[in-house]
Amino acid sequence: MRSQFDSPIIVLGARLLTPYIMVFGLYVIFHGHYSPGGGFQGGTLLAAAVLLIRVATGRRVSRLQIQEFATTPLAVIGVIIYFATGFAVMITGGYFLDYGQLPIPGMDPVWLRYTGILIIEVGIGLAVMAILVMIFDNMVKGEDYA
């Protein structure tokens, strides 16, 4: 940030830790049916991995990971995934967000509910990750946080 110099220990530690935090975030999202966790927690872990590499290495390296202009469309896509899941049920004749009548052929309603919960968890995780990175990028904009 303001008075920062290149420290190889910090850069190496961030590079070593980031992939594992990211894999753990994906695990928390996709294993939320069986263990504690879910969209919010997993998305926040993914955002923590991205923010760690942004704080440690600066703008030049973090441009390779998620660019600044890509966060707002990702947040919108996350909200739209959630809303479209509910709206697809409304088109086929059910209530809003009642996953028992999702238009996927060949599944009984119980497994359709399982699938619907998984889809909206992915949407929540994507939106939360993009929005936390977006808040960080807007806070440090204009100053070189490297």
Partner 1 sequence: MKYLKALILVTFAVLLIYAAADLPFRGDPDNRMHDERSMTNTPVAGNYYIQEAYHDAHTPNIVTVVLGDYRSIDTFGEQVVIYTAGIITLLVLRRTRRRSS
Partner 2 sequence: MIWELELILYLFLVISGLVALKVRDLLVAVVMMSVYSFIMALLFVSMGAVDVGFTEAVIGAGVTGILFVVVVYQTTRKSKD
What does the binding site for partner 1 look like in residue numbers (CB under 8 A)?
32-36, 38, 72, 75, 78-79, 82-83, 86, 96-97, 99, 110-111, 113-114, 116-117, 120-121, 123-124, 127-128, 130-131, 134-135, 138-139, 141-142
Closest CA to 73 of 140, 142, 134, 125: 134
Residue 55 or 80: which CB sits closer to partner 2?
A: 55
124 is in the binding site of which of partner 1, partner 2, none (Cβ under 5 to 8 A by kind)? partner 1
| Closest to partner 1 by CB, 48 or 130 | 130
CA distance 38 to 59: 30
Minimum CB distance to partner 1 smaller for 22 or for 79: 79
Q: Is residue 121 classed exposed, middle or buried when 0-12, 13-18 and 19+ CB atoms within 10 A define those classes?
A: buried
CA distance 20 to 23: 5
Residue 21 · residue 48 · CB < 8 Å:
yes
Whether 116 and 102 have beta carbons less than 8 Å apart is answered as yes
- Span of 74-82, 103-111, 119-127, 138-146 interacting with partner 2 by CB under 8 A: 138-146
Using CB atoms within 10 Å of the CB of residue 21, give its burial: 0 to 12 exposed, 13 to 18 middle, 19+ buried.
middle
Of the pair 18, 102, the CB lying nearest partner 2 is at 18
What's at 70, amino acid-wise? A
Least Cβ distance, residue 8 to partner 1 (angstroms) = 31
Binding footprint of partner 2 on the chain (CB under 8 A): 1-2, 36-38, 40-41, 44-45, 47-48, 51-52, 55, 132, 135-136, 139-140, 143, 145
